[in-house]
Structure 1
């Protein structure tokens, strides 16, 4: 395993160089390209018109069949009938025309009466010859009337008595009004004229007047229904617009196996590009662009991280996990060639997300999930070249995100299996939702199959995560749970060294471990790391155990006879000495950091004020630990717990109120001194830490706590 770590360390050192980092991105891009190459490669189809298809051919894309669309639109337009409108005003116009003709007769009579003088005997002379009256009558009529109404009919009207004319007027107007009230197209005008004639034929008028009225009625009836080109065009346009484009849908079967390729099928094959795919580079260009986008996003994500060893390590871990996920995805997709088209739902999508979340961080895990979903939509295209399986993409993204969100609050390794179960439930719900949205009707056995593969995807993700995590932890130098348990063994040489050479320090370390572990778990930090770190945090005291108060059992305190500066050097040295001893014994970096940082840059107040009282010219900075300050939650909490335990132990009979006050004061002092500025502990989390420390201390010292009521009772008894 050490050899593997050395190899990984060498690779990480190479990644610090820009050319090797570019090479890693290029390698990642090439693997992605070749993993999806066959899924976008256009199919080479040797097809000809009227040949027999040797396999079922599906459309790789959704495309509009413009010829069929135009054909359907033309059919829809042809079915639209011409629009004709009824001009109702024509009826009134023709009725008015008839009235004007009869009014003209009255005007002719009136004019004739005015111009004739009575004879000597008092009688009226003849009103004029019919020809004269007819001529006067025609002058009052339009040319169109005089051309279409015979003189005989006009004379008959002129010759009629006034009461007969009134009857003739009413009959003709009524007949024309009745006939013209209905639609009269151009080809039905003659029939309309006949209907008027039929209405007027059986009247009580004399023969000559009746014939004249019939002629007037026939003349008055005209066409009143006319073609409306604007309305017709509007309806035709609506008919065109209502026809949806005819589309060949992605995945639609164009030709069944063994089917003769007709002209329409051949046109569809040509339209979808299946007959011109041999030399097409567009799918490969599109794939290259998509991969470039993913790699560019990956570059910017890691460009924001600090350019240190951790950044290089995270990039390499991400690359390995992404490649591993792609390979598993590709292997499962091979079964699609054997008509197992649902293998995408079996893919352990949450595996990579959980490993990235545990080994790197949440944001990178989310990006890993989304990028994997994009690749999955191409790889699991169900054998349709160039198609995208959006359903599988949503399934993969939902599966990975559910794992990341679950581990957001449960970052412990022992929660991985629980995360797998949660992912299984999410997979089932998402898969069923997608099936219902697509209105897929399945049998009971098919539903059972989908439930099974969705469950296996979540559980296999957890199993693979648990199985692969130790290899990544060991290979990249991560501090694994197993390693921590091994370091917590009381038989470890360094722990035995503390126990035998500084038993007081050992007891103090165990007490601090109890406090720190509970506080870390209260804020979601690594409690086991805190416990093990506490066992080793004061290993430096074994060099001079008698100079530390917890080891001064029945002996005089040597600091009473030492100058403050010497005492300062001895006390401060235990953090530096401890880190050196741990490095010498090759303990993990996290344990070394705890030993080195648990005091941060705090002030040795006792010896600083002792020096001031001795009127020595000293600076406060001379009596501070060299640091660095706590960089992690675990180290910061251990530092607080270390101070709290020592302070409470100095009290003879600590009460609950004293413990709470002491804890709050120590945390407040650390905050004001800036010791917590470089770790990511929030004020809310510090409240939880304080509460946890108080509860644990009350549990430890419960037998020694004296409540006010008990104290009063003892006083009374005395």
Structure 2
């Protein structure tokens, strides 16, 4: 006995410590940090850049693929240089050069004509004295002509070229000028690159060959024409640079594509291959911090979603910490399963990830916490799985397995309803298995790959095993989490509603009247809760136990007084009050002793609130005017939730209606609304978030239920006769 008491004290001390820890706000910050650490440890090795111990000019022992897409700047620059060099020099036809050369040759002839005219004028001045007239020689005339020309022209045109021109007639000189100007203009109107200059000079010779000029004049004219021919198709630096720049800009960025083969097995690793291996980060000469920075941001996004969900809920710190701790455990177990299974990828089981029972995690979250959180967790598991199972693929994300996990998890969440027995969870596992098979089939068809029958069979077996194992593990973990965290799940409620439960059998056998009353209250409460969106199943099952304290002294409660005298007739009002009130504390003690859910304890403790025992109060008032009303009130506390408020009202309504003679719908509705009005006036509903609109809906629900129970019946003739005889 002493040992039992010691254990009980130790358990109470432990529970107090846990409750105290749960009350600290910093605890949920610590749990978020633990969640971040779990994610980082699980994903670190999968995002860590792969490095190879490879030496230059050795033979590769494996085929190496590029793990990511990177720009090959060296190759890009080489291609750009090739494009730059491939552009030919750009030339342009300069018409101004042609015009300039035509003007030049024309001006040379004009100079010759001018010198001739000057000589003629001097001859006319000296005409009067023929004997004394001096004669200008041809060489002197040539010197005058060369004196009027530039040095560059004089260097390129021999002096004897002008001799025949100054000695010829004026008409022939004009003819020579026209012929040269025409020939030069014709030839210079065409493109003459520098490499074709000789050919162009030959063409101008050929054009002047058939003139009617004397040979010596024709030769001089040809010399001047050849002098005038110069390249007019010249190099255009600006156009050339523009074309080269266009060629460089048109070169696409050279990239090493993700999945590209860098070196084949048994192939020599030359300098170019070695350079590319270093470029994609496969050499251990440097480590990039970018993947770890990306992983940090990735974890931050996941935490932001989880924090947003938990922090926006307006619930006590202790309950928030409790829920978050449970979520972290479920999350850690699921991620650990993924990580353990992923180790088999190293031994060529690349697609082993399809067997992971990842749906277990979200099914537990749905059953124990919240459906919206379960859907969010489905997305998180899908993304984490795509990173963890990235072995054998190019890149860090295996999108196929991510999609597979997403569909499987969502299937588990959506199939589970409100009331989930173990058979329902097994059915959910079968449903997940079916969805897994469909998702895998879709993935394989989209890939359009060639799969052997063995591969297809193994994939489908893993998909089915994943769904079934998820449901089995869910059923296996549920009792541990429910017990360890004091969670009242739907399945737990259904188990507690079993009439074979020891406490329910105790109520049924020892207090059958109370049991019937509890069942009636349960029916009323469930329908009313569901009408306003509260937890109807919790209200129903908790109502079965709310008067368990009456089993300690059953004969003191009127519903159990069958064929016996009311014992309160022999007791004082003060003592009767204490006995009636004690059923609340007795019930709370019994429920705690049997480790019943906290919600049941709260309902048993609060379903009377601080209401007044009017009968015994008025009875005591008749004998003693100094009695205070507070002495005849229940100790409370008042109802804290909608479910407790509804059970509290239903408890009074059922007892009041049962005591009515010939209840009618009108009487029932009047009674129900008067009880609700009394509770409002007595401030019994001040501490729960129930509204007047919801109270009106509750009243209508009670009336509908009670009308079905207390409906009018046909009065049989024989019974009528017996009743008349009885009356007589």
With normalisation by structure 1, the TM-score equals 0.71
Decide whether aligned partners of structure 1 residues 188 and 345 sit closer, same or farther in structure 2, where only a CA change above 3 A counts.
Answer: farther
Is the 1:654–1:704 contact (alpha carbons within 8 Å) kept by the matching residues of 2? no
Partner of 2:186 in structure 1? Answer: 175
Deviation by residue 1:507-563 (Cα, 9 ceiling, x = unmatched): 332233223334545676554332211111233455677887867899999999999
Deviation by residue 1:73-128 (Cα, 9 ceiling, x = unmatched): 4444443444444445444444555565667678778888999979999xxx9999
Tell me by how many angstroms 1:469 deviates.
1.8
Total equivalences in the alignment:
691
Distance 1:504 1:615 in 2: 33
Decide whether aligned partners of structure 1 residues 658 and 26 sit closer, same or farther in structure 2, where only a CA change above 3 A counts.
Answer: closer
> Within 5 Å, which residues of 2 pair with 1:530-609?
530-541=539-550, 574-600=583-609
Distance 2:445 2:135 in 1: 98
Partner of 1:186 in structure 2? Answer: 194
Partner of 1:359 in structure 2? Answer: 368
Q: Whose Rg is larger?
A: 2
> Within 5 Å, which residues of 2 pair with 1:458-469?
458-469=467-478
Tell me by how many angstroms 1:216 deviates.
4.5
Decide whether aligned partners of structure 1 residues 73 and 687 sit closer, same or farther in structure 2, where only a CA change above 3 A counts.
Answer: farther
Decide whether aligned partners of structure 1 residues 283 and 108 sit closer, same or farther in structure 2, where only a CA change above 3 A counts.
Answer: closer
> Within 5 Å, which residues of 2 pair with 1:516-527?
516-520=525-529, 526-527=535-536
> Within 5 Å, which residues of 2 pair with 1:612-627?
626-627=635-636
Tell me by how many angstroms 1:349 deviates.
2.3
Correspondence 1:79 to 2:112 = no
Decide whether aligned partners of structure 1 residues 301 and 45 sit closer, same or farther in structure 2, where only a CA change above 3 A counts.
Answer: same
RMSD: 6.2
Partner of 2:253 in structure 1? Answer: 244
Decide whether aligned partners of structure 1 residues 488 and 363 sit closer, same or farther in structure 2, where only a CA change above 3 A counts.
Answer: closer
* Structure 1 stretches lacking a partner, 5+ long: 706-718
Is the 1:420–1:462 contact (alpha carbons within 8 Å) kept by the matching residues of 2? yes
Secondary structure (helix, strand or coil) at the match of 1:489 reads coil
> Within 5 Å, which residues of 2 pair with 1:227-626?
227-228=236-237, 231-232=240-241, 235-236=244-245, 239=248, 242-247=251-256, 249=258, 252-269=260-277, 276=284, 310=319, 313-314=322-323, 316-361=325-370, 372=381, 376-382=385-391, 388-391=396-399, 394-395=402-403, 398-399=406-407, 402=410, 406=414, 410=418, 412=420, 416=425, 441-443=449-451, 453=462, 457-479=466-488, 483-499=492-508, 503-520=512-529, 526-541=535-550, 574-600=583-609, 626=635
Distance 1:448 1:540 in 2: 60
Is the 2:504–2:545 contact (alpha carbons within 8 Å) kept by the matching residues of 1? yes
Is the 2:180–2:222 contact (alpha carbons within 8 Å) kept by the matching residues of 1? no
Is the 2:95–2:189 contact (alpha carbons within 8 Å) kept by the matching residues of 1? no
Secondary structure (helix, strand or coil) at the match of 1:225 reads strand
Distance 1:64 1:301 in 2: 39
Deviation by residue 1:656-698 (Cα, 9 ceiling, x = unmatched): 998599679949976995837656x799988987776666556
Decide whether aligned partners of structure 1 residues 48 and 12 sit closer, same or farther in structure 2, where only a CA change above 3 A counts.
Answer: farther
Secondary structure (helix, strand or coil) at the match of 2:189 reads helix
Secondary structure (helix, strand or coil) at the match of 1:509 reads helix
Decide whether aligned partners of structure 1 residues 308 and 103 sit closer, same or farther in structure 2, where only a CA change above 3 A counts.
Answer: same
Deviation by residue 1:416-435 (Cα, 9 ceiling, x = unmatched): 56765776677678778877
Is the 1:74–1:240 contact (alpha carbons within 8 Å) kept by the matching residues of 2? no
Is the 1:643–1:666 contact (alpha carbons within 8 Å) kept by the matching residues of 2? no
Is the 1:33–1:291 contact (alpha carbons within 8 Å) kept by the matching residues of 2? no
With normalisation by structure 2, the TM-score equals 0.70
Tell me by how many angstroms 1:372 deviates.
4.9
